[in-house]
Amino acid sequence: MTEVIATNETILVVGGGISGMTAALEAAETGKKVVLVEKRPYVGGRVTQLYKYFPKLCHPTCGLEINQRRAKMNPNLTIITMAEVTDIKGEAGNYTATVKIAPRYINDNCTGCGNCGKAVEAEFDDEYNYGMGKRKGAYLPHRMAMPQQYVIDPAIIGSDDAQKAKDACKVNAVDLDMQEETIEFNAGAVVWATGWQPYDANKIQPYGYDRFENVITSVEFERLADPTGPTGGKILRPSDGKEVKNVAFIQCAGSRDKNHLLHCSRICCMASLKQCTYPADDVDISVYYIDIRAIDRFEDFYQKVKAQDNVKFIKSKVASIVKGEDDSPVLHGVDTEGYNRYANQHDLVVLAVGMEPSVDKESFPVDIVINEEGFIEPASENGGIFAAGCSSDALDVNRAVQHATGAALRAVQVINRVAGTEG
């Protein structure tokens, strides 16, 4: 049974991505008690799935390591993974949260040795790699996962595989009888940091993401470039595993579009520019764009990529994609600089998909103001619930961290008021 000691001077942080972690750590480091609830089996969120950050092209593992260390060292912070907030009742200074925790089937004895993973035979699509590549039925979600504990896929529970995992464990960490549990605890303020998800590319019908293997999304491309990814860092075509010699990026795939996401997702231009630096020099790159929005004064980054000999910018929103010879996608459209009609074939097409807020308007556990784009508004009606990071707007990591720090301060203010009235 998971036990959480919490009072109405506790801050609940929902979501353990870079924003949630930041808010939780900043608040905990002011001395407040914080409970962080994360849906995945590990914290760090989508940042863990990035190969490099813009503009410095450094690796997110570095910043992640610092945050994980801060989390381990702080006694004020309790992290609950594989858990979802299903209900919040009350008002600022006095909330009761209901949290549903899925069974991990692995307890805290786990040392991350990997014996269970070796013993299990069943394989599943690896969600960490967006379904590209496989993982075992007992698995460590990724190398830097925190907590550094294995997870047993519920699909193998009751099978021989599950028993094999249990038998292989030398530290008695496999608990196949673990059940889903629901807990309730108090909180004075809530930081909502459920982040974002890549816009469902299947909905952009003319681009054929659901029909063409060599049309992928920007988040998938990130995994292809990562040495720990499914191709060991080689950019290979999904259809035949051949090396990509000619790649196209399509900007605003699902963003700034009344048929899809209304808002500009802001990060996609910089993300694609960053991804232009991933392939080798002899790979031809074409970027199809409406206009380049190099946010946060990164115009110089754009200019640098523009100066790369192998990169070409085509001012046009691609109208449609059809399959050409050798499963290569052919892009159709008309460019705005000259109104020339084109049909360009590429080995691989990357859709720079938009940021969709992971804020479920229909079943949000408490009354809150959500705007037409699906983000949480900074409204006084929200009481002691503060959005952090991408649940408030489409933000890059840098801005999400700044925003989360602000949200933590708001939450701390509520707790201080509670402490004042009580003390």
Partner 1 sequence: MSTNSQKYRNSFLKEVEANVEEGEWVKMCMQCGVCAGSCPLGKHWDHPPQEIFMMIRAGKREEVLSSDSMWMCTSCYNCIARCPRGLPITHIMHGLAVYSKRLGLMPDNQPTAEFGQIFWDNLMKKGRVNELKMGLSMYFKDGFSQGIKNAMANQKLGQNMMKAKRMNAMEIMGGHGVNSPGDLAKIIKKAQEIEDGNIQDFS
Comparing CB distances to partner 1, the nearer of 70 and 317 is 317
- Report d(CA 72, CA 77) in Å as an integer: 8
Q: Near partner 1 by CB under 8 A, which window of 70-78, 230-238, 257-265, 385-393?
A: 257-265
**Residue in 275, 259, 258 with CA at minimum distance from that of residue 267:** 275
Q: Near partner 1 by CB under 8 A, which window of 100-108, 160-168, 268-276, 315-323?
A: 315-323
Q: By CB under 8 A, is residue 259 in contact with partner 1?
A: yes
- Report d(CA 350, CA 83) in Å as an integer: 33
Determine phi and psi for 370, rounding to 5 degrees.
-115, 130
- Which is it for the CA torsion 331, 335, 339, 344, positive or negative? negative
Of residues 276-305, those binding partner 1 (CB under 8 A):
290-291
Q: By CB under 8 A, is residue 256 in contact with partner 1?
A: yes
Comparing CB distances to partner 1, the nearer of 258 and 297 is 258
Q: By CB under 8 A, is residue 197 in contact with partner 1?
A: no
Q: Near partner 1 by CB under 8 A, which window of 27-35, 118-126, 172-180, 253-261?
A: 253-261
Which string of DSSP letters, residue by residue, matches 166-203?
A: HHH-SSS-B-TT---EEEEEEESEEEE---EEE--GGG
What are the residues whose beta carbons fall under 8 Å from the beta carbon of 312, sequence distance 6 or more?
284, 285, 286, 287
Among 61, 277, 336, 402, binds partner 1 (CB under 8 A): 336
Comparing CB distances to partner 1, the nearer of 306 and 332 is 332
Q: By CB under 8 A, is residue 319 in contact with partner 1?
A: yes
What are the residues whose beta carbons fall under 8 Å from the beta carbon of 191, sequence distance 6 or more?
11, 12, 13, 14, 20, 23, 24, 27, 385, 386, 387, 388, 404, 407, 408, 411
- Measure Cα distances from 221 to 32, 181, 202, 272 in Å: 39, 37, 16, 10
Q: By CB under 8 A, is residue 373 in contact with partner 1?
A: no
Comparing CB distances to partner 1, the nearer of 56 and 341 is 341
What are the residues whose beta carbons fall under 8 Å from the beta carbon of 66, sequence distance 6 or more?
none
Residue with tokens 């899925």, as numbered in its chain: 102
- Report d(CA 236, CA 214) in Å as an integer: 10
Among 175, 257, 284, 296, binds partner 1 (CB under 8 A): 257
Q: Near partner 1 by CB under 8 A, which window of 109-117, 329-337, 380-388, 401-409?
A: 329-337
Q: Near partner 1 by CB under 8 A, which window of 24-32, 115-123, 158-166, 332-340?
A: 332-340
Contact yes or no for 350/322 (Cβ under 8 A): no
Q: How far is the CB of 289 from partner 1 (least distance, A)?
A: 9
- Phi-psi bin for 20: left (phi > 0), alpha (psi -120 to 50), beta? alpha
Q: How far is the CB of 343 from partner 1 (least distance, A)?
A: 10
Q: How far is the CB of 323 from partner 1 (least distance, A)?
A: 17
Among 31, 131, 206, 227, binds partner 1 (CB under 8 A): 206
Among 3, 281, 339, 380, binds partner 1 (CB under 8 A): 339
Q: How far is the CB of 258 from partner 1 (least distance, A)?
A: 4
- Report d(CA 90, CA 227) in Å as an integer: 47
Q: Tell me which residues touch partner 1 (CB under 8 A).
A: 206, 252, 256-260, 290-291, 315-320, 332-336, 339, 341
